[in-house]
Structure 1
Amino acid sequence: MARLTSLHVISAQEHLRDQVAHALRAALIAGDLRPGMIYSAPALAAEFGVSATPVREAMLDLVREGLVEAVRNKGFRITELTEQDLDDFTELRAMIEVPTVGRIARLARPEQLEVLRPIALEIVEAARNHDILGYLEADRRFHLGLLALAGNRRLVEEVGNLRKRSRLFGLNRLAETGQLTASAEEHIELLDLLVTGDAEGAEACMLAHMSHVRSLWADGQQRPGGS
């Protein structure tokens, strides 16, 4: 198996299961682990420099997230997202997030929203620098932090779970073409609308942003090595 560029040797002092799971997600995002391919725990363990046990445990975490599936006596297959999967995830998130953003625009104070501006700028900077993991982490903090202003903890948890299942794979190529930067800049546009209290505009912007993300998923799937 080719060396996975996103993986690194993990020290014994760290929480191996969580660290391995994080590195596996990074490999998925970078496209180092290919959808439809089967990977064994011992082979991946050799790449990490750890025993197979934390790798199996981490893979089971990813099974629960829907990112991989167990294949008896062989290992784990990277899950492929279908067009229907993409549509379903987008529809579910839009049903939750679009009206919630409108409510936040009506109720949140400008100073509460401005706390998110450094994160929005961080998303853009990460996209421009092709820092895929940095982009996704900042994007997660922005969206979940924004939704938290609605005051519904369960809503935030549910969207967080949906985001895990709809993880963007193979984003390196999209970053290189500039598509990721265009999506990143939409966070600033959304925040500007929210600060001015434009609920209708914020809802429209959020829906357009999610449609853009949906197209990025599709583009990533259609490219060789994408998912």
Structure 2
Amino acid sequence: MKKISFYLILIFVLQSCHVPVNRDYNGLSGALVFTQNKKWLINNIYSDLNSVEREKMNVQILNSFNSLSKGNAVSIDEAITKNLLPAKISLNPDLEQLESLKNNSDFDYLVNVRTKKVADQIASLELSQPYQFSKNEAFAILEVYDLKTSKKIYSQKASSETSMEGKKTYPEYSAEQLNAERANGKTPKGPFFSYSADALSKKNLSQILKDIQKKAVK
């Protein structure tokens, strides 16, 4: 029991370690303007995480935009009960969909979010080094459409990854080389801790929301 608790504590600590997040604004402005009481429609997230995690992220996004817009953000589920909106808005809405939203609602902006796990090869806890190079990789994208002009005005992609080198094994390495590395303490020993692909997805989204908050024009 003590060993299990020890490993859980280590996982928590290492999950808090710094993992670089790469950003891409797709040539658009890195700041959003939250003025003049504009209304924000928050679409449900498109994600390959489970339904519980998707709902948590939906709430996270809504709360963030509500805070920045002073209560002028509405989830699509709430909007559907009050307006003539489609049950689902696509991740990449075409001009017809954007025009429909403009004509059938009083929202000014549409917020679309997606997360995806690109590679999911390492567990949060690995007892030994993998036999080949392995990595976890994920990204999140948040985009904003101006419904009055039907144009995308904001796009941020945040991506991150963690990796582990594979074991050095025979015949790629001679027995003498392997024994020498073991003797010199150069052979990594487990356990190994890492961000899971799920955790990277959630981290990327959080970093996007923090960046929007930091650069917001109010």
TM-score w.r.t. the length of structure 2 is: 0.23
Going by fraction, where is helix more abundant, 1 or 2? 1
Structure with bigger gyration radius = 2
Going by fraction, where is strand more abundant, 1 or 2? 2
TM-score w.r.t. the length of structure 1 is: 0.23
